[in-house]
A = this chain, B = another copy of it.
Amino acid sequence: MQNRQIVLKSRPVGIPQPEHFELKVSEAPALKDGEFLVENHYLSVDPAQRGYVNDENNYAPPVPIGAVMRAMAVGKVVASKCADVRQGEFLYGWFGWQDYCAATPAGILRRVDPAQAPLSTGAGLLGINGLTAYLALHDIGKPKPGETVLVTAAAGAVGSIVGQLAKLAGARAVAVVGSDDKGRQCCEEYGYAAFINYRKPLEGALRETCPKGVDVFFDNTGGEIADTVIRQMALFGRAIQCGTMSIASWVPNPVGPRNDREILTRRLRIEGFVIFDHLKRYDETAAKLAAMARDGLLRYAEDIGTQIADAPQALVDVYSGRNKGKKLIKLR
């Protein structure tokens, strides 16, 4: 069986570009004892992948040059030499940007039940994006009815879920987006009460849109947008640092206004959230999200490509906000 793979060709600084990758074709791997073979159906494209390939401070060592790109995917087990994994099962895990992956149970993030929801959701709404939205919002943000929840990258795979969950919690969700089109989509489809286009002057728009300040700041971008928002947070506000998409490179460490005084005088809490710390809660949380989707309480958008060769460009697109909803590559 032929195995197409996107491998890392050179080490990028900042956001990886298509020239840092190449497409290689080889034979699907032979299985060793304890392994199983996953045939990928949906490859996931995630902002966090940038951190997998560069040498910047991150939560996992970088992908070696020449290795297949680290990525999550939803796939089907087509062969198994592993007692815990059956042929025919669908899994979500670290299966890489490739057709076939010889995996071990350590690479499984969640077992996917195709009867629970469409298979694609396994990598989005029921994958790290929906799980992040749910757990970070409720664990750290703890929105109360009537509070204001401001979300950056609000039309993205995580933000589009956060708006709806915040609304379901009785809070008022405000979207920060890069275009009026996306803002309208946020209000019409993702539960947001209002939107702010960050390409226009932000401070005044924030003051107008969030007159009582921001109680929960779900931040996927960091940088100058966050600088402005932090200064308009309400007393005892909670900021979730969930991603730093707006920062082109962390080498050298960019500077910005110090926030110590804001944190102190407004008694803010700023906390980092990484979904991989919460593996044990995936099934339970995915079941809740799937039920909400089935009940019509939760919409999700997917932006699905079909060419494995387009995966690197898709990552660039996610960083520039050109995707509409969760970006996936459907292989079969």
Q: Does A267 contact B (CB under 8 A)?
A: yes
- A264 surroundings in chain B (CB, below 8 A): 241-244, 272-274
- A222 surroundings in chain B (CB, below 8 A): 258, 260-261
- A78 surroundings in chain B (CB, below 8 A): none
Check B277 against A272 for contact (C-beta < 8 Å): no
Of the four ranges (under 10, 10 to 19, 20 to 34, 35 or more), the interface on chain A belongs to 35 or more
> Whole-angstrom distance between the alpha carbons of A244 and B247 in the complex?
26
Name the one of B57, B242, B262, B267 contacting A271, with C-beta atoms under 8 angstroms. Answer: B267
Known: A255-B255, A265-B58, A267-B277. A226 touches B272 (CB 8 A): no
A280, chain B: closest CB distance, angstroms? 16
> Whole-angstrom distance between the alpha carbons of A253 and B270 in the complex?
19
A312, chain B: closest CB distance, angstroms? 23
A167, chain B: closest CB distance, angstroms? 25
Check A271 against B272 for contact (C-beta < 8 Å): no
- A324 surroundings in chain B (CB, below 8 A): none
> Whole-angstrom distance between the alpha carbons of A265 and B250 in the complex?
12
> Whole-angstrom distance between the alpha carbons of A261 and B244 in the complex?
7
> Whole-angstrom distance between the alpha carbons of A226 and B261 in the complex?
13
